[in-house]
Amino acid sequence: MVTTLINSQQNTWSDVFSTQNGAVYQSDAERCWYVDFAGKVAKFDYRCLLKLKKAVYNVDIEAKLLETSKDPDVEILFICACDHCYILSLLQIIALKELLEGTFVMLQLNHILQDKLYRLAV
């Protein structure tokens, strides 16, 4: 199922992957991705989307859950060379990780399908 959204500037966004906590959209016209998560929609190019994925994967969730100190269970994700910063709880980090995992699986699946279809056509 492909869902498209049209923003106020009349650009079409295609739904790449979504969960009940957020969604990732692709804009072919702008050659970027929009991540709708934690109450904000952030624009990322592919390089910054990979940096976001790396930052989320580097959070040791298990260690944070086993920690007995009274520090707040909040993580600040700042992505170098990007304009966006996320301040997330551990549950939000798990939800964002799920969203990014699904997104990259869909992108990889799309690449495999395009590769197979192109090979059959040639």
Radius of gyration of the chain (CA): 16
d(CA 15, CA 1): 9
Secondary structure letter of residue 53 according to DSSP: H
- pTM, to two decimals: 0.84
| CA 37 to centroid of chain Cα atoms | 8
pLDDT per residue of the chain (122 residues) written in tens, 0 to 9: 344 455 555 478 999 999 999 999 999 999 999 999 999 999 999 999 999 999 999 999 998 888 888 878 899 998 888 888 999 999 999 999 999 999 999 999 988 988 888 776 66
- The letter for the amino acid at 79 is I
- Checking DSSP bridges between strand 32-37 and strand 22-27, what pairing results, if any? antiparallel
Contact 35, 42 (CB under 8 A): yes
Phi, psi torsion values for 31, nearest 5 degrees: 55, 55
